Copies of this chain bind each other. A is one copy, B any other.
């Protein structure tokens, strides 16, 4: 019955990569806790880099600064 929400920056993750995440997390819950995969739900949220901050700075800004160096 678990519900898992994965939040990543929107950076062009492919359908295959997202399917790998969904499969991997579901398998992990089955193997570790014996959960029923049939009712295990995984959702992935892809968040724009200007809407994601770390260290008080948007990721969009961190990347601009990294490029300048």
Contacts and interface: CB of A to CB of B under 8 A. Distances in A.
A52 B19 CA distance: 9
B39 A39 contact: yes
Contact of A45 (B8, B51, B55): B51
Contact of A37 (B45, B56, B60): B56
Copies assembled: 6
Interface residues of A, number: 51
A40 B11 CA distance: 16
Interface string A52-67: 1111111111000000
B55 A47 contact: no
Contacts of A21: 28-29, 32-33
Contacts of A13: 33
